[in-house]
A and B are shown apart, each in its own frame.
Chain A
Amino acid sequence: AQSVTQLGSHVSVSEGALVLLRCNYSSSVPPYLFWYVQYPNQGLQLLLKYTSAATLVKGINGFEAEFKKSETSFHLTKPSAHMSDAAEYFCAVSEKTSYDKVIFGPGTSLSVIP
């Protein structure tokens, strides 16, 4: 069965500092992997996705993530945090054989300190 864990329910960084949000997954078959962002009282917006092409995936707003099969990880990074990055971030996984079944992680709330 698939599952997603996100280490750290809350992460705080200073403006201009590196953002690192961790995501580990379990899947018995090659997965699709996603990062979504959610601003307060809004829906989720797709940041980036891994679909078995390049292992380093670039997304919107300067974010990127690297798929590491050996570590079953898909951590999200951004070199320099902006105040506008403060939001909830969700990692998600689906199996290529069952792409309707997307499993979301519990989310990480990112705070950016001026």
Chain B
Amino acid sequence: DGGITQSPKYLFRKEGQNVTLSCEQNLNHDAMYWYRQDPGQGLRLIYYSQIVNDFQKGDIAEGYSVSREKKESFPLTVTSAQKNPTAFYLCASSIRTGQNYGYTFGSGTRLTVV
């Protein structure tokens, strides 16, 4: 079955470390997104990519980086510059056909700073 796979499900980061969250999709979707979810704040957009080798900053991109070398993959790196990285991270994808059919989400990665 097609879908989005995020790994790992739980991740622990020490102070000063960079960590990378994986997001892979086999839906043949063009666009991919990273959201951060904090309790009571809904979802906030970190980065998004509409095509391979291109991506744009979202509303809270500081301290994060991404790459889009393959259509199927959109990894997110949480750098040491992100001062409060503890959160639930969600990856999503969508078709780009001139109409918004909604997003397909992965099951998320919960990142905790220790």
Contacts and interface: CB of A to CB of B under 8 A. Distances in A.
* A, B assembled together: yes
Interface of A: 9, 32, 34, 36, 41-46, 49, 51, 90, 94, 96, 99-102, 104-107
Contacts of A100: 31, 48, 50, 94
Contacts, number: 58
30 contacts: A32-B99, A32-B100, A41-B107, A42-B107, A43-B90, A43-B106, A43-B108, A44-B92, A44-B103, A44-B105, A46-B103, A46-B104, A49-B100, A49-B101, A49-B102, A51-B101, A94-B100, A96-B99, A96-B100, A100-B31, A100-B48, A100-B94, A102-B45, A102-B103, A104-B43, A105-B42, A106-B40, A106-B41, A106-B42, A107-B42
A63 B20 CA distance: 37
